[in-house]
Structure 1
Amino acid sequence: MAVGLLAGCSTSPATGDSNGTISDNTPSASATSTPSQAAAENPKFGQAFTFKSGLKVTISAPEAYTPSTYASGAAANNIKFNVTIENGSDEAVTPVIFQYTATAGGQAGNEIFDTEQKVGAYDGPNSVAPGASASYVIGYGFAGSADGVTVTFDPSDFVSKPATFTA
């Protein structure tokens, strides 16, 4: 009996069911919009990832930077990313609950908080209304090389799967 119940609870992804879509954020001279790809692929840095909810996230390519003297999380190799969110959903979103993780070469990056350079401390509005957008900077420090870094964005909405941005 228990086996039958457990078997009934297993799920497999439905055909065409994805977490969201990937689009190229660079303007095209020949088209006003860019076709989307299935979310089976990871978005690349600079591409926009749109979750089913309508929340669109773009994370720039990493840039090396030197943290301020009192920044926390800094390490031998420090990088930052520009993040832009566009709220295409029907409800306001709260960016401070979004979660990010960065890894490079199998090592987790230390999240950098650098208030002097406004890295890692979201300083935008508490909520972003439908149709509005916000931009901010996140940073990570790595003891080893930051080559091949990936950044995973989790909207923390209890529904969406995280999206991992790659080079």
Structure 2
Amino acid sequence: MALLLTLTGCGGSEVAADGGTGSKVDQASVLDPSTSNDGLDVMAWGQTMTYADGLALTVSQPTGYTPGEWAAGTEGHTNFVTFDVTVMNGTSQPYDPLLLMTGATSGGVAASEVFDSEVLGTRPDAAILPGQTVTWKVGYGVADPADITVDVSAGLDENFNSYDDVFWQGPAA
């Protein structure tokens, strides 16, 4: 069964979870209130959000990791997690993954993005063509691995409308 959610934001983009059909349903009928924060939809790790134009985003459950010797952004943290970000371009136009931004909080404070090409590799810098899927690793220093929220902003669509932010929340594995 497909699940459909509608997020509000700058562009008012319709978002479907797990490949929904694109028709709208009342959020209250599909979401447990414990998974909603002030009207924002919060997804479980591994759930896929698909925008009305076909762009789909997935964030995997974070797992602990040890940063490499030359990692940047590790200062002040002793807990580190990594997760996969997957973009499936179901639109009719190339998607620039450099437009996609992640942010995170943990234990009530901002998490610090870790830049670690030795262990995590690098994010893609080439356009994702229609029909292609690309996955890359992102790392963060976190205060509490049992309490992580990841905010993903996909940037602008082909009509220069802002995609609505999507949130994933839960503990690291």
- In structure 2, the partner of 1:87 is 89
Question: What is the count of residue pairs matched by the alignment?
Answer: 140
**TM value normalised by structure 2:** 0.72
- In structure 1, the partner of 2:43 is 43
- Provide the rounded CA distance (Å) in 2 between the counterparts of 1:83 and 1:125: 14
Matched, 1:164 2:163: no
Gaps of 5+ in 1: 1-12, 24-32
The 4+ residue runs of structure 1 with deviation greater than 3 A are 33-41
Computed over aligned residues only, the root mean square deviation of the Cα atoms, in angstroms, reads 2.4
- In structure 1, the partner of 2:116 is 114
Gaps of 5+ in 2: 1-7, 28-40
The structure with more radius of gyration: 1
- In structure 1, the partner of 2:35 is none
2:14 to 6, 14, 19: 19
**TM value normalised by structure 1:** 0.75
1:161 CA displacement = 1.2
What is the identity, as a one-letter code, of the residue corresponding to 1:128?
Answer: I
Q: Structure 1 vs Structure 2: percent identity of aligned residues?
A: 26
Contact 1:21 1:38 in 2 (8 A): no
1:125 CA displacement = 5.2
Contact 1:20 1:39 in 2 (8 A): no
1:53 CA displacement = 2.3
